Amino acid sequence: MIQHRIEVANVHAHLFKVSLRIEAPAANQRISLPVWIPGSYLVREFARHLSPLQARQGKQERPLSQIDKCTWEIACSGKSALEVSYEVYAFDTSVRAAFLDSRRGFFNGTSVFMRVEGREHEPQAVRIGGLPKGWRVFTALPSAQGDAQGTGEHLAPDYDALADHPVELGTPWHGEFTCKGVRHEFVVAGAPEDFDGDKLLADTRKICEAQIAFWHGKRKPPFAHYVFMLNVVEDGYGGLEHRQSTALICSRKDLPRRGRSAPKEGYTTLLGLISHEYFHTWNVKRLRPRAFAPYDYQRENHTRMLWFFEGFTSYYDDQFLLRTRLIDADTYVKLLNKTLNQVQATPGRQRYSLGQASFDAWTRYYRPDENTANATVSYYTKGALVALTLDLQLRQLPAHEGRPPDLDAVMQALWQLGRPIDEGDVAQALALVAGQPPAAWAGDDGISAARPAEAWARTLHRWTETCAELPLEALLSSHGVQWLDKDGSLPQQWGVKLQDAAGGPKVQAVMRGSPAEQWGLSVGDELLALDTWRLRKADDLATWHQAGAAQDVLICRDQRLLTLRKPAQWTAAEAGRSVVLNVAASPSAAMAQRRQRWLGA
């Protein structure tokens, strides 16, 4: 057993004091801190927040040598216990690292606990101490001999589990409910006094019940305790999934308050986030990509399948709000519409496949810059549209082995495998659920002779490894949802993203192949005037824009004035279109029936 101890050392300096005890260490014992946290695909080099390490056996100090940015080696003598201690600076307000101030503390194991090389599979005990008066510990980490404050010993079966159980410290709002035999705690830090916790609990419970039933029917899920940790801030959004908990951030204005109606859009977004992270309890934490089994904590772990683990989860998060009637069909279609337009406005979708975008998540999606829209596509949004495409395609097929096919059945078939999966497994599951797909779906005619799993593999390859356009207009229309093309806003038609700044609208991004690119607009340019008319904000563009006329565009770049020319004739950017979806007013009987089955409306 490896023993870790973490103490609140100095709330004003944001310091945790951590120590590690290793019985019978190796002669040259290596220890290391992860460089990333599973679920967030960026090398974050958590070791940069550590103080110099100290090591001793009994009273004897032991020499430490640092091997690389996150690994140390300690020369030990004999088998007496090795103790290592260090401080961790914790002032990261996100869900991905560690935080400590006078009001609350939070940490992920990946930011604070060392991995003892060769001993990763041993049980890992954790003692949490030094808590300010009144503070309590909240975590799904099993308690070995907990006291009321939770400062007793916690026990993880191995390092992976230790790394996967975040801990919240402080005096947050706390509520709980039991659902299908599982104790669900909800911890909310930073909420206003009139926060309506009962509403949040009741709505969350509906989501949990529906998702447990989705994966397990009437049976119990493979965990007995789950903790939602929500940190409420003035302005923020985000979440990170774990096998028995999730850490969330939301904006204060999005919380339900007693005696007021819940903020419609913001609260729906929060419920969508809760639904998303809870769905990950299965999809990615247990149903895992092969590439993550096991995790390598020292470097990037590449997978081409984030479109499945993040994209399909994104499809199901809002689906569960719909299925539990937390939103109606019109709202659901509006959310879908937003996703569709986000993908539409991304020129990168025409050059980067979802597989490539997944593989490059570490260097592209997680390191966004002004060129990101041209240099990748979001595996969240486009992955959700692939899930939608497959779901609607499956729903058009006849019943197979007594069950009408849909994506639910595919997810459930994958779950039944009980092991890490790859693309081939998804194709197999599709074939199992639906049999032979129409040849045209794979984009060529020569596959009718292929076995069902091969035919599905080709279809899947087309949606995820090429940039082929998804056939969503036809699929949505056959499910009673009307698709209308319309022009985007003027900056969008030009192919620029503008942000209103003090001097006027400023160019934030220029879309690849757009008119704006041809006219010579660059990121950072301030748009000053169109012909002789002053532009004060992005909306002024529409005021002074003359369709069919050549116009001068006066800009400021690095303190110099330049005049660019918008010609009389130009073609709007490909990313300058947008779509309006509507639940069709009078669909055919077949469409209405399909829509009823899909949207319940």
Question: What does the binding site for Zn ion look like in residue numbers (CB under 5 A)?
Answer: 310
Q: Are 270 and 246 in contact (CB under 8 A)?
A: no
Nearer to Zn ion, 160 or 310 (CB): 310
**Coil, strand or helix: which one is 388?**
helix
Backbone angles phi, psi at 319, to 5 degrees: -55, -40
Q: How far is it, in rounded angstroms, from Cα 330 to Cα 3?
A: 53
| Shortest Å, Cβ 313 to Zn ion | 5
Q: List strand residue ranges (DSSP E) for 320-477, in order.
A: none
Q: Which is nearer to Zn ion, 310 or 425 (CB)?
A: 310
Closer Cβ to Zn ion, 358 or 578, answer by number: 358
Residue (310 or 406) nearer to Zn ion, CB:
310
Q: Which is nearer to Zn ion, 284 or 431 (CB)?
A: 284
Q: Measured from the CB of residue 241, what is the shortest distance to Zn ion in angstroms?
A: 6
Residue 296, C-beta contacts closer than 8 angstroms, at least 6 positions apart: none
Name the one residue in this structure whose structure tokens are 């390092």: 159
Single-letter residue type at 129: G
C-alpha–C-alpha distance, residues 352 and 243, integer Å: 31
Q: Which is nearer to Zn ion, 168 or 310 (CB)?
A: 310
What is the closest distance, in whole angstroms, from the C-beta atom of residue 490 to Zn ion in the complex? 34
Say how many Å lie between the first and final Cα of the chain, rounded. 55
Closest separation in Å from C-beta 364 to Zn ion: 17
Q: In the complex, what is the shortest distance from the CB of residue 282 to Zn ion, in angstroms, rounded to a whole number?
A: 12
Minimum distance between the CB of residue 200 and Zn ion, rounded to whole angstroms? 20
Closest separation in Å from C-beta 218 to Zn ion: 27
Nearest to 208 by CA among 142, 200, 72: 200
Alpha helices by DSSP H, 289-377:
306, 313-323, 329-344, 354-359, 372-375
Task: Give whichever of 38 and 587 is closer to Zn ion, judged by the CB atom.
Answer: 38
Q: Distance between CA atoms of 433 and 427, rounded to whole angstroms? A: 10
- Please identify, using beta-carbon distances, which residue of 32 and 283 lies nearer to Zn ion: 283
Total residues found in the chain within this entry: 601
Count CB-CB contacts under 10 A for residue 253. Answer: 13
CB of residue 317 to Zn ion, shortest distance in Å: 8
Find the shortest distance in angstroms from Cβ 361 to Zn ion.
12
β-strands 225-233, 245-251 pairing:
parallel
Q: Give the integer Cα–Cα distance in Å for 146 and 148.
A: 7
Q: Which is nearer to Zn ion, 203 or 310 (CB)?
A: 310
Strands 136-138, 533-534: parallel, antiparallel or unpaired by DSSP?
A: unpaired
Q: Minimum distance between the CB of residue 77 and Zn ion, rounded to whole angstroms? A: 47
Query: Closer to Zn ion at the Cβ: 40 or 124?
Result: 40
The amino acid sitting at 167 is V
**Closest separation between CB of residue 339 and Zn ion, Å?**
14
Q: Which residue minimizes CB distance to Zn ion? A: 310
Minimum CB distance to Zn ion smaller for 310 or for 526: 310
CA atoms within 13 A on the CB side of 352: 28
Is 256 or 311 the residue whose CB approaches Zn ion more closely? 311
At 177 the three-state DSSP class reads strand
Whether the CA torsion 440, 445, 446, 448 is positive or negative: it is positive
- For 479-519, where are the alpha helices, taking DSSP H only? 490-494, 515-519
Per DSSP, the residues of 414-428 read HHHH-S-B-HHHHHH
With respect to Zn ion, which residue has the nearer C-beta, 310 or 360?
Answer: 310
CA 359, 365, 367, 369 dihedral sign is positive
3-state secondary structure of 590: helix
CB of 383 vs Zn ion, minimal distance in Å: 10
CB of 107 to Zn ion, least distance (A): 21
Pairwise CA distance, residues 256 & 202, whole Å: 12
Of 522, 423, 538, residue with least CA distance to 490: 538
Q: Provide the minimum distance between the beta carbon of 290 and Zn ion in the complex, in angstroms, as a whole number.
A: 19
How far apart are alpha carbons 242 and 280 in whole angstroms?
8
> Which CB sits closer to Zn ion, 268 or 283?
283
**What is the smallest separation between the CB atom of 351 and Zn ion, expressed in angstroms?**
24
Residue bearing tokens 């991004």: 509
Closer by beta carbon to Zn ion, 310 or else 540: 310
Q: Please report the DSSP string for 263-282 in residue order.
A: -HHHHHHHHHHHHHHHHHTT
Nearest alpha carbon to residue 153 among 123, 181, 115, 132 = 123
Residues 6+ apart with CB under 8 A from 372: 348, 364, 365, 509
Centre a 10 Å sphere on the Cβ of residue 64 and count the other Cβ atoms it contains. 17
